[in-house]
Structure 1
Amino acid sequence: MRSPVQWIDMPPVWLLAAIVAAYAIGVVEPMWLTFGGQWARLVAGVLIGGGLILLALAIYEMRSKRTTVIPHQEADHLVTSGIFSRSRNPIYVGDMLILAGFILRFDAVLALTLLPVFVWVIERRFVIPEEDRLRRKFRAEYARYCLKTRRWI
């Protein structure tokens, strides 16, 4: 059973924290820093929508293979089909797209610095431990998967 702290230490919580930080940065940053008008809102919508689509495709694929989508839990199956044939971490790529979209939407130019920080946190807290578990459990199959599919895109 997971403790309350373990339920808080989840990628959606980190994403929400980064979005809130981006909003706060957008409120306090100098007005002369801007992405520009309507085109930024359009691109923001495309990025957020694309991120949500990636999340949905990845969750659907994992559910169809009857394995967990919850980080820090042992996977029952190695999912290499669907969107996972393009990226080993499509959910996290989707999270990055969503964050980038909100940064554009909030017109928070200085919040762009949150993107590499978010990627670093997600990689250290979730990606590397998940890869280690998959490497131990699926050995040769996971090694072949890593050779043909990139970690990100």
Structure 2
Amino acid sequence: MWNVTFFLHMVGTAALGFYLILPLVVGGIQKLSSGAQEGAISTIHVANRVAQYGLVLQLLTGGYMMSQGNYTYVWMAVVTVLLLAMFAVGGIMSKPLKNALAGIREKRDVKADIGKLGTFSAVLSLLLLVMIFFMVFDNII
């Protein structure tokens, strides 16, 4: 059972890999034409939803693996808070994504929404990097 759970946990991790490159993708959106911006933001919206499902998979499999392992309570709390923060920021990011798509279709200026996307994507990337750090160095705290 452990191997299956670990495999599913790694599949969830692969889905979250999108968050690592997201700041680079969002940074180049403003240079695109409006049609290309719409396509890029639409793709980010779908990828964010897939990553959210990856987070659910991480929550379920990680929770099971934590219950089977020997981890400190502090480590488990830190990892859980990081996961919940990723859920929150990923969910909050969906509103600027929707607003940017609507704005592009209505020919409005979407710089503010793209700026918010840049901030949220940087925060998500940082949260994921910190999470990876604690996964690799699980005995640090």
TM-score norm. by structure 2 comes to: 0.40
Greater share of helix residues, 1 or 2?
2
TM-score norm. by structure 1 comes to: 0.38
